[in-house]
Structure 1
Amino acid sequence: MTTMIPPAPPADAAAHFAALLAYETDCWDVHHALTTGTADFVLLDVRSPEDYAAGHVPGAVNLPHGRIVERNLAQWPAGTEFVVYCAGPHCNGADKAALRLARLGRPVRKMIGGVTGWLDEGFTLQAT
């Protein structure tokens, strides 16, 4: 019941939600950036090559989270922002990828919902 615990003070809530948005983005925002040509990030599908080939977000690059090492990131300048996604909310592959990227000093956000969220929004996947 929401009345049992009072809401956080507005300043605390603002800090919390601002921080949350610094770590995550959603499928709609990614789709909008990709379709309007305003994407200022590299979208990484961090699932297996087989899952990627079966269907991925158009424009995404496949780099499984276990292969995120400096050598495999060398093609992108150091300040490049990455947005990572995996299968969906039941999968922690995007979290593992984001952690690896952050530990390598790369700016990163997670696309919440992953493939499941993408499809829930009515967007289509591309097979290769």
Structure 2
Amino acid sequence: MSYVTDYPAAAPEEAAAWFSRRLSLETDCSDVHEAISQHQQDFVLLHVIGCQAHFDQKHLPGAVHLPHAQINVETLAQWPTGTLFIVYCAGPHCNGADKAALRIARLGRPVKLMLGGMTGWHDEGFAFEGDSQQAT
């Protein structure tokens, strides 16, 4: 037996439930980019990193700057109740998007985390907006 098969695979029904659940909570850079590029953006993209200068320098196209610490009933009131929020932060080394997603969910709003954050966006070769338009 290999290390891969030391633990048997889950039953297909269990795997389907797991991956369906995971996809209901997360999205990825490629899917977000595709929606934006095809003018099919049916969500609000939130840049949840706190620093305004960071947002001004570089952010994802069409993103709204709303630091996770400022997410509350009042700051979300500008969007209809059923609005889906996609949150992102600097990357896998940052938990700001998790904090934002938790706040949004606790406020009864739909939310997904964009895997990879800005690091993932850069790794995919997608362009940024802002004063510094390089993908660095």
Rounded Cα–Cα distance in structure 2 between residues aligned with 1:127 and 1:105: 31
Residue 55 of structure 2 aligns to a residue whose secondary structure is: helix
Q: Of 60, 64, 68, which residue of structure 1 is paired with 2:63?
A: 60
- The residue identity in structure 2 corresponding to 1:37 is H
Deviation at 1:59, TM superposition (A): 0.3
User: Is there any run of 5+ residues in structure 2 with no aligned partner, and where?
Assistant: 132-136
Partner of 1:126: 129
Structure 1 position 35 matched with structure 2 position 37:
yes
TM-score (norm 2): 0.92
Deviation at 1:115, TM superposition (A): 0.1
1:39-85 per-position Cα deviation (integer Å, ceiling 9, x unaligned): 11000000121211120001000000000011011110111000000
Percent identity for Structure 1 against Structure 2: 58
Residue 34 of structure 1 aligns to a residue whose secondary structure is: helix
1:100-127 per-position Cα deviation (integer Å, ceiling 9, x unaligned): 0000000000000000000000001111
**Where in structure 2 are the equivalents of 1:12-31 lying within 5 Å?**
12-31=14-33
Structure 1 position 105 matched with structure 2 position 114:
no
Kindly tell me the number of residue pairs found equivalent between the two proteins.
128
CA RMSD, 1 decimal: 0.7
Rounded Cα–Cα distance in structure 1 between residues aligned with 2:53 and 2:115: 21
Structure 1 position 77 matched with structure 2 position 80:
yes
User: Is there any run of 5+ residues in structure 1 with no aligned partner, and where?
Assistant: none
Rounded Cα–Cα distance in structure 2 between residues aligned with 1:18 and 1:50: 37
